[in-house]
């Protein structure tokens, strides 16, 4: 009886050792196959590609009816020289993606933009007031689109909207990014 137990124990020990050997080899082979190689681009980055950055513009998503970012690739020189004008004019032009809706009314022009301390003044043409006043939250969506897009710039913390150089009763507040 004692010899039987020793033989069974020895056979089990051999099976465990042989099985362990094959399992360890299997994992070593898997590890060698999944070695991450350094990525080498097929082409060098051109000077033009090197001068571009990604910005997020906020538009209304048609399905959810909520603001969503649309990423755009922009030449850094354009953003460096006139960042506020560039971003606002891109919002005025509207989204490239068909999933999004333009918020700023047609024919609206940005007369000027300027920064005082950390408040950005946006002076729009009178067409800015031609937004759909019947649409739910349209005014808030326009404001939030401007605020979310422009406060990405570290120097901008709030926005004041002017119409043809004057304060307007419809947009008379200072708008900031709400903390959620």
**pLDDT interval class at 96 (50, 70, 90):** very high
pLDDT above 50: residue 103: yes
Q: What is the pLDDT of residue 15?
A: 86
Domains of the chain: which residue ranges?
1-40, 47-176
> What is the pTM assigned to this prediction?
0.70
pLDDT at position 67, please?
Answer: 92
Can you give the pLDDT at residue 43?
60
Cβ atoms 36, 48 nearer than 8 A: no
DSSP 64-121: T-SEEEEEEEEEHHHHHHSHHHHHHHHHHH--SSTTEE--SPTT--EEEEEEETTEEE
Question: Do the strands 158-163 and 119-124 form a parallel or antiparallel pair, or are they unpaired?
Answer: parallel
Percent of the chain scoring above 70 in pLDDT = 86
85 pLDDT higher than 60: yes
| pLDDT tens per residue across span 17-40 | 888 888 888 777 766 655 555 555
**Per-residue pLDDT at 180:** 40
């Amino acid at each position: 009886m004692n010899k039987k137990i020793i033989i069974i124990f020895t056979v089990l020990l051999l099976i465990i050792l042989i099985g362990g050997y094959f399992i360890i080899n299997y994992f070593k082979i898997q590890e060698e196959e999944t070695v991450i190689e350094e990525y080498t681009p097929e082409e060098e980055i051109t000077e033009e590609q090197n001068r571009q950055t990604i910005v997020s513009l906020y538009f209304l998503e048609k399905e959810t009816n909520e603001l969503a970012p649309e990423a755009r690739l922009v030449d850094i020189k354009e953003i460096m020289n006139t960042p506020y004008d560039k971003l606002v004019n891109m919002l005025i032009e509207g989204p490239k993606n068909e999933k999004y809706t333009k918020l700023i009314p047609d024919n609206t022009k940005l007369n000027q933009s300027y920064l005082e301390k950390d408040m950005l003044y946006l002076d729009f043409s009178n067409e800015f007031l031609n937004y759909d006043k019947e649409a739910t939250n349209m005014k808030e969506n326009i404001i939030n689109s401007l605020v979310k897009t422009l406060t990405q710039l570290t120097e901008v913390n709030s926005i004041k909207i002017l119409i043809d150089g004057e304060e307007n009763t419809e947009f008379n507040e200072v708008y900031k990014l709400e903390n959620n």
